[in-house]
């Protein structure tokens, strides 16, 4: 039996390695500048990043930059945009009539300038992207989320130095931990005025970064900053459930609402589980038992997956997932009265 377990472990590890190698061979596109189109709409996306601004693609194996940089990109969304999708150009040249296109950029010397450009005090949506993301990926995803969900809040992408390469899983885990102080600094910069709040949306490995940052804030005893967090959504979180429970215990009173979006058909998290000792990830749980006793709501999007993107971002990338989530937001506001476990279907 021991020999059989060793063979199975080797097969699983080999399968994960093959999966990641094949994924890394996929062509990656970068955001392109282009002229505006009269039928398109312009979505401003604010960015706080450690990355070099002239490097919007893959950076696997390179030294991580230091310090945050701030800018705004105006991103053109085509009139025939399909909810959940990012319309990357099919050819070499982007066309604003059919594709996402960057039409303008404004660079800020400090976060206060960026905050003023956003309109001053108020609530801000901060999106923390996940593993294997380039700066271009993160900016366009933020533009798609803001367009599809009409949040009414300015959106800031916290783009930590992911390698943007599927082979860089461990590199990205280190990069996420490397970025905790900078994310904390961004949250402080966005909440200087009495009416300021921040709503955190964190995806995949970005959820691990968000939880580590909240844990760090709690350990510092900075209750003022913690009170400025108006809500948290962890989408497909790449976190060990035991680690999540430990992080939550250290944080103490969790910001509300606090929601976890899961899918049992998330193939990216299945592969991540093979790389982390065959341990289930938080984004794959199929019931409330793993978070029992914690003040969180689990929303199960399994039935709404369409297979695209490995089912790793169903709530915002699947047209069906987007439609159902839009209805949830419209009917329940911030959803702070949700049940502890919600299993969604195409006919809710």
Residue keyed to tokens 């377990």: 5
Looking at residue 110, its pLDDT comes to 96
Say if 266 falls within a structural domain.
yes
Q: Exposed (0-12), middle (13-18) or buried (19+): which is 219, by Cβ within 10 Å?
A: exposed
Say if 18 falls within a structural domain.
no
Give the SS3 label for residue 9.
helix
Say if 24 falls within a structural domain.
no
The token pair that represents 211 in the structure block? 């939880």
Looking at residue 59, its pLDDT comes to 56
234, β-bridge pairs: 202, 260
Crossing angle (nearest 10°) for helices 319-332 and 135-149: 50
C-alpha 100/C-alpha 113 separation (Å) is: 26
Show the 3-state SS of 186-217: HHHHCCCCCCCEEEEEEECHHHHHHHHHHHHH
What's phi and psi for 145, nearest 5 deg? -65, -45
- Kindly report the average pLDDT of the chain as a whole number: 87
Overall average pLDDT of the 316-340 stretch: 77
| pTM of the predicted structure, to 2 decimals | 0.89
When mean pLDDT is compared across 4-13, 89-98, 137-146, 226-235, the lowest value belongs to: 4-13
Count up the domains in the chain and report the number. Answer: 1
Task: Read off the pLDDT of residues 130-182 as tens digits, 9 standing for 90 and up.
Answer: 999 999 999 999 999 999 999 889 999 999 999 888 888 998 999 999 999 99
Looking at residue 63, its pLDDT comes to 64
Say if 12 falls within a structural domain.
no
Say if 111 falls within a structural domain.
yes
Domain that holds residue 97: 29-343
The token pair that represents 244 in the structure block? 């999540």
Say if 89 falls within a structural domain.
yes
Alpha-carbon 316 to chain mean position: 10
Cis peptide before 257 (omega within 30 of 0): yes
Domain CATH number, residue 51: 3.40.50.1820
Say if 8 falls within a structural domain.
no
H helical segments located in the chain: 2-24, 111-117, 135-149, 169-178, 180-189, 205-220, 223-226, 241-251, 267-275, 314-317, 319-332
Say if 176 falls within a structural domain.
yes
The token pair that represents 122 in the structure block? 């108020």
Q: What is the DSSP string of 205-270?
A: HHHHHHHHHHHHHHHHT-HHHHTTEEEEEEES--S-HHHHHHHHHHH-S--SSEEEEE-TT-HHHH
Task: Read off the pLDDT of residues 104-113 as tens digits, 9 standing for 90 and up.
Answer: 999 999 999 9
C-alpha 150/C-alpha 238 separation (Å) is: 26
């Amino acid at each position: 039996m021991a020999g059989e377990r060793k063979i199975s472990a080797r097969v699983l590890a080999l399968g994960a390695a093959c999966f990641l190698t094949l994924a890394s061979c996929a062509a990656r596109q970068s955001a392109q500048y282009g002229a505006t189109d009269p039928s398109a709409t312009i979505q401003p996306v604010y960015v706080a990043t450690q990355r070099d601004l002239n490097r919007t693609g893959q950076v696997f194996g390179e030294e991580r930059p230091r310090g945050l940089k701030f800018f705004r990109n105006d991103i053109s969304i085509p009139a025939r945009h399909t909810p959940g999708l990012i319309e990357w150009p099919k050819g070499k040249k982007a066309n604003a009539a059919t594709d996402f296109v960057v039409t303008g950029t404004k660079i800020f010397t400090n976060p206060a300038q960026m905050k003023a450009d956003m309109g001053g005090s108020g609530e801000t949506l901060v999106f923390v992207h996940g593993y294997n993301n380039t700066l271009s990926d993160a900016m366009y995803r933020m533009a798609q989320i803001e367009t599809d969900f009409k949040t009414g809040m300015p959106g800031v992408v916290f783009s930590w130095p992911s390698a943007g390469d599927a082979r860089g899983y461990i590199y990205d885990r280190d990069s996420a931990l490397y970025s905790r102080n900078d994310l904390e600094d961004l949250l402080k910069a966005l909440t200087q005025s009495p009416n300021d709040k921040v709503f955190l949306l964190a995806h995949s490995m970005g959820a691990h970064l968000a939880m580590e940052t909240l844990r760090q804030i709690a350990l510092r005893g900075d209750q003022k900053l913690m009170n400025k967090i108006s809500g948290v959504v962890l989408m497909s979180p790449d976190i060990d459930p035991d680690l999540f429970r430990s992080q939550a215990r250290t944080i103490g009173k969790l910001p509300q609402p606090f929601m976890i979006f899961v899918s049992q058909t998330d193939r990216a998290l299945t592969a991540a589980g093979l790389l982390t000792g065959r341990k289930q990830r938080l984004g794959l749980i199929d019931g409330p038992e793993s978070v029992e006793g914690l003040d969180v709501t689990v929303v199960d999007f399994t039935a709404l997956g369409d297979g695209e993107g490995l089912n790793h971002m169903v709530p915002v990338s699947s047209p069906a997932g987007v439609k159902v989530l839009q209805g949830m937001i419209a009917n329940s506001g911030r959803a702070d009265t949700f049940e502890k476990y919600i299993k969604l279907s195409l006919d809710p």
